[in-house]
Structure 1
Amino acid sequence: MGQVWLPAQFTSFTGLPDTLRYARWDGRADFPSDPGQVEFYVPPLVQDLRTISRPLGRMTRLRAMQALSSGHDGLGAELRRLPGRVTLCNARGTHAPSTAELALALILASLRGTAEFTRCQELREWRPAVFSSLYERTVLVVGYGALGSAVEDLLAPFGCAVVRVARTGRRSPRGPVHAVSRLPELVAEADVVVLTTELTAVTRHLVDAKLLAGFRDGALLVNVARGAVVDTDALWEEVRDGRLRAALDVTDPEPLPAGHPLWGAPGVVITPHVGALTPSLWPRLEALVRRQLVRFAADEELDNVVAY
């Protein structure tokens, strides 16, 4: 009977195949069973790769790993150190509704001056000011998968002109999806640029000094992807004098050090990588893991496979 490790966050998880044995681990305590017997590993939902990787060196019988994140930065390299072939799956799509919701909140908070008004409230000062609007703006979505599509869904009531970008150009039911090679010309026309792409060797520092210089004055950069998609030093040079605005749920480095200048930069809104973390996320994750375990127990092909 195969051994499965589940996250301790799954406190009430039912409907699992009874041909498998289950243990729960929170990433901090001692291992709940012998890692050498684990065949299917669902790590805790944490951002620290070291926590996820801690038992991997002893998981000599591991056959599949179901990440609870949509990204899988570094996990493939960790699994390739194991003696056998391990199927790595991500949680593509499960994070999209909550993260898209935060992306919209960040756009509105930045454009409408919420951060500035919050500071005025803390000072008990009444300072009326006119800020921008999202209505009928041009929004460039970079990374048109489940998350990018969900962001477009939420922009619909605002009458925005949504421009879609992905690794390669294609047609979608909503219109054209442009190749990433066209980014330099597309950012020049955008009022808001939303990053929803995965972090890969190709997208690392995709938004660099040269690309940022091509943004129109006053444009807003929103990052709900991964911090390293943006060159942080280059971003600082553009926001320090207020030429660009930024709303960041992810940063590089992360966590952002207390003394980092981005904390106090004008027109910058920062949230601590919480895009997906809403109560509605857990039922979606549990449904995904349940489907995967049913497939695993039946020796069927798993969904969301990203690497072996």
Structure 2
Amino acid sequence: MTADVWLPIPPEEIAGLPQGPAYRFWDGGEEFPADPGDCAVYVVPYMKPSELCVRPMARMRSVQVVQTLTAGIDHVQPGLKNLRAGVRLCNARGVHEASTAELTLTLVLASLRGIPDFVRAQDRGEWLSGFRPALADKTVLIVGYGSIGAAIEDRLTPFELARVARVARSERTSARGPVHPLTELSSLLPQADVVILSTPLTQTTRGLVDADFLGRMKDGALLVNVARGPVVDTDALLAELRTGRITAALDVTDPEPLSPGHPLWQAPGVLISPHVGGPSSAFLPRAKRLLVDQLTRFVNREPLRNVILTTGSADA
């Protein structure tokens, strides 16, 4: 039986791949590149719908590793139940931090300084001057303090903030200061001028930003979502935005993509980018380095990086 590796990037474009496996290119096309039953390592197509990503998984009888090229794993979780026990699921920690943190800072600054208004005014030939909020002296709350949350704080540091508060699933101490547990979120929200969501989508975080969460945000606060759309209750957000009390910058939405007539497009005080936190010129070089490293480890039977769970175990 052939030990195949399915890659969503043509293998000839990835320098340094280890010898041994048979590399098969599949980026979600209708035809599979080989028998899924011979696949040992499945690298999931990037930025493709969940139903497409999980389509071959039920037939992958010999798969040992499922590697995503995203930080989140929610799009492959529906297919995990079809895999045998012992399959390691790995994410792309180290690939998206720089690009997502850059976009987060872009969304924060553009929203506070009114860049969308200036662009619309430019289209009208209107000189739209006046005072706008600065990021300096603001309190920022980062909800979801993994590697992306930490990378966001790294880029916020030069902006002379009054304070950064950090929230994660469990309490701990980071290099920059304490990380509060989710149970303390309600007490931190009223203090934050900017709330940044960078948490993974789990059963705990789905719908986390509901009417109560939004109601606790201070008047004039900005909500930034670079996590996953379903972390936010869209109807609750729309209701709050229509009051004009808060604003939002959303790289992800629920549903996604937004249909042309969706009310979020026209909601007041919203800046929307089309899920572009990861796809940038920074992606491919980092993704290729990760794949070369992971596959070299796999071939040499060394521990893999970024193992999120193993099927059939308590963490699955």
- TM-score w.r.t. the length of structure 1 is 0.96
Q: What is the alpha-carbon root mean square deviation over aligned residues?
A: 1.4
Cα deviation per residue 1:186-229 (whole Å; 9 max; x = unaligned)?
01000000001111000111111011101110100000001111
Determine if the alignment matches structure 1 residue 54 to structure 2 residue 55. Answer: yes
Whole-Å separation in 2 of the counterparts to 1:275 and 1:3: 31
Q: Provide closer, same or farther for how the CA distance between residues 11 and 217 of structure 1 changes in structure 2, counting only shifts above 3 A.
A: farther
Q: 1:123 to 1:29 in 2, by over 3 A?
A: same
Confirm or deny: 8 A CA contact 1:40 1:62 kept in the other structure.
yes
Q: Please tell me whether the aligned partners of residues 36 and 59 of structure 1 are also in contact (alpha carbons under 8 angstroms).
A: yes
Q: Which moved more, 1:27-36 or 1:97-106?
A: 27-36
Partner of 1:302: 304
- The answer to whether residue 292 in structure 2 is matched with residue 290 in structure 1 is yes
Aligned partner letter, 1:142: V
The 1:163–1:124 alpha-carbon spacing in structure 2 relative to 1, beyond 3 Å, is: same
Q: Would the aligned equivalents of 2:49 and 2:75 in 1 still touch at CA under 8 Å? A: no
Are the counterparts in 2 of residues 106 and 247 from structure 1 also a CA contact under 8 Å? yes
Counterpart code for 1:290: V
C-alpha distance in 2 between matches for 1:11 and 1:116 = 45
TM-score when scaled to structure 2?
A: 0.94
- 2:171 aligned residue: 169
Distance 2:60 2:101 in 1: 35
Q: Which whole-Å CA distance do the structure 1 matches of 2:24 and 2:48 have between them?
A: 21
CA shift, 1:48, in A, is 0.6
State the one-letter code of the partner of 1:199. Answer: L
Between the aligned partners of 1:8 and 1:286, the Cα distance in structure 2 is: 9
Deviations 1:30-54 (A, max 9, x none): 2122222111111210241111112
| Structure 1 gap ranges (5+) | none
5+ long unaligned stretches in structure 2: 311-316
Q: 1:126-183 deviations in whole A, cap 9, x for unaligned? A: 2223211101210001111111111111111111111111111111121111111111
Q: Spell out the pairing of 1:113-152 with structure 2 (5 A cutoff).
A: 113-152=114-153
Name the SS for the 1:162 alignment partner: strand
- CA gap 1:207/1:296 in 2 versus in 1, 3 angstroms: same
Query: Within 1, Cα distance between the matches of 2:128 and 2:273?
Result: 24
Seen in structure 2, the aligned counterparts of structure 1 residues 59 and 220 have a Cα distance that, compared at 3 Å, is same
Displacement, 1:80?
2.1
Aligned mates of 2:308, 2:84 — CA distance in 1? 19
Deviation at 1:9, TM superposition (A): 5.8
2: distance between equivalents of 1:25 and 1:47?
A: 12
Matched, 1:197 2:199: yes
Asked if the contact 2:227–2:252 (Cα under 8 Å) also holds between the matched residues in 1, the reply is: yes
Match of 1:85 in 2: 86
Deviates more, 1:218-227 or 1:125-134: 125-134
Cα deviation for residue 74 of structure 1 reads: 4.5
- Aligned match of 2:44: 43
What are the equivalent positions in structure 2 for 1:152-167 lying under 5 Å apart? 152-160=153-161, 161-167=163-169
Please tell me whether the aligned partners of residues 168 and 180 of structure 1 are also in contact (alpha carbons under 8 angstroms). Answer: yes
Cα pair distance change 1:74/1:278, threshold 3 Å: closer
Q: Secondary structure at the match of 2:191?
A: coil
Distance 1:9 1:254, change over 3 A: farther
Paired-residue identity, %: 51
Amino acid of the structure 1 residue aligned with 2:303: E
How big is the shift at 1:29?
Answer: 4.4
Q: Give how far 1:10 is off.
A: 5.8
Aligned to 1:101: 102
Q: Tell me, yes or no, if structure 1 residue 252 matches structure 2 residue 254.
A: yes
| 8 A contact 1:10–1:286 mirrored in 2 | no
